[in-house]
Amino acid sequence: MNIEELNTALAQIFASDDLLKNEPMSKHTTFRCGGPAQFFVRASNAADITAAISAAEKADAPWWIVGCGSDLLVSDAGLPGVVIEIGERMAHISIDGSIVHAQAGATNEAVAQAALEAELTGYEFASGIPGSVGGAAIMNAGAYDGEFKDVAVSVSCLFPDGTVREIPAEEADWSYRHSMMSDKGLVVLEATLQLAAGDKDEIRAKMDDLSQRRSSKQPLEMASAGSTFKRPEGYFAGKLIQDSGMQGHSVGDAQVSTKHAGFVVNTGNASAADVLQVIRDVQAAVADQFGVTLETEVRMWGFDPTNNQRGVLLIQCASCRSIVIAYAR
C-alpha cells in the first residue's frame, strides 16, 4: 500500500475538513469502540465516492463504506486504507405525492419524520431503527412486522465499474437481512419508496407506540450495535441466550444486556476485543446447550479471520478491492 500516493490523491478530492487521518472509529460506530481509520473521508456525492475508491485501488489500499455505523464492530487495531462515510452530506429527502426519494445518508428517523409531516404512512416501523436508508436497503431492515422491501420501489447504486444504475425492487432479491446489493458489493446512493396517504395523528400515534415499545424492551440507553444476532430459523436469539444462562455475562465493559438478551452492550469503555469475546462466549454456550449456531447480525471489520473460534462468524473486507458495507440495519 502506497500511503503517500493515497494521501496526495485524497487531498485533491476532499477539503481538509472532510479528510481525517488516524480517525478513531469509536466516534463513528454506535458501539463506541474501535481503533483508528488510516484515512476517513466524508462523501458529498457519487463522484466523491468513485474518486475515493479509485484512489484507494491505485494505491493498492483497502476501502470501506460506512453510514451511521450501527451493526458494526471495528477491531481495536483499526482499519487500513480509506473509510468512506455516506452521511449527512448525502442525506437529502424529497417527496412527490406518495413517493419518497431519500439519499443513502438520510437516517431512518429523518425519513419517518418527513413522511409524517407529509401525512404518509408505511415507514413508521423504521422510525426507531438506528442507521441510514443505505443500510436499510442493504440489510432489508425490519422491525414490528415491517421491512424495507415492503415500501421500496427501487434503489440507485454505484457498481464496481463506476456506473450508477437503478435497481427495481423485483431485482433486489430482498430477504431476511439480505439483498442482492450486499451480495454484489454495490454502494447504495438513493432509495425510492412508495408510501400511502394516511392520517397524521394516527401515524404519529403509531410511531410513539413503537418508540415506547422499543424503549421498554431494548437497552437504548446504552451503546450497542442493535440486535447482535440474527434470528435463527425456528428460534428467538434472545430466548436462547436467556435459557443458556448467558444474560448478564460480561467481559470488561462489554455485557449481554440484562434488559434484552439479544443485545451486547458497551456499559462504559469496552474494547472491541471485549465485545467480540462476549459474542464468542454466547455463541459457544448456545451451540453447546441447544445445538444452534447464532450468526451475528453485527458486521465485523479488521479482525483476523484465521483467529476464528467455534461458532464465530466474522464478516470483513475480503480483499483490497472488495466493498464492505456497514450502514445499518
**Main-chain phi, psi angles of 242, to 5 degrees:** -60, -50
Q: Is 310 a known active-site residue?
A: no
The pLDDT confidence band at residue 189, using thresholds 50, 70 and 90, is very high
Structural domains in the chain?
A: 3-88 (3.30.43.10), 91-215 (3.30.465.10), 219-301 (3.90.78.10)
Q: Which of 132, 154, 156, 227 is catalytic?
A: 227
Query: CA 201 to CA 294: how far, in whole Å?
Result: 40
Q: Which of 190, 297, 299, 329 is catalytic?
A: 297
Residue 305's pLDDT is what? 60
Q: Which of 32, 42, 177, 299 is catalytic?
A: 177
Query: CA 164 to CA 186: how far, in whole Å?
Result: 10
The closest of 238, 248, 232, 247 to 311, measured between CA atoms, is 232
Q: Are 279 and 55 in contact (CB under 8 A)?
A: no
Neighbours of 319 (CB within 10 A): 6
Query: CA 217 to CA 204: how far, in whole Å?
Result: 20
For cell 434488559, the residue is 259
Q: Is 177 a known active-site residue?
A: yes
Query: CA 64 to CA 173: how far, in whole Å?
Result: 23
What average pLDDT does range 235-242 have in this prediction? Answer: 96
Q: What is the pLDDT of residues 245-288, one digit of tens each?
A: 999 999 999 999 999 999 999 999 999 999 999 999 999 999 99
Percent of the chain with pLDDT over 70: 92
Q: What is the pLDDT of residues 191-225, one digit of tens each?
A: 999 999 999 999 999 999 999 999 999 999 999 99
Q: Which of 136-145, 250-259, 297-306 has the lowest mean pLDDT?
A: 297-306
Q: What is the pLDDT of residues 40-75, one digit of tens each?
A: 999 999 999 999 999 999 999 999 999 999 889 999
The closest of 176, 152, 177 to 166, measured between CA atoms, is 152
The pLDDT confidence band at residue 145, using thresholds 50, 70 and 90, is confident
Q: Which three cell numbers stand for residue 45?
A: 456525492
**What global pTM score does this model have?**
0.89
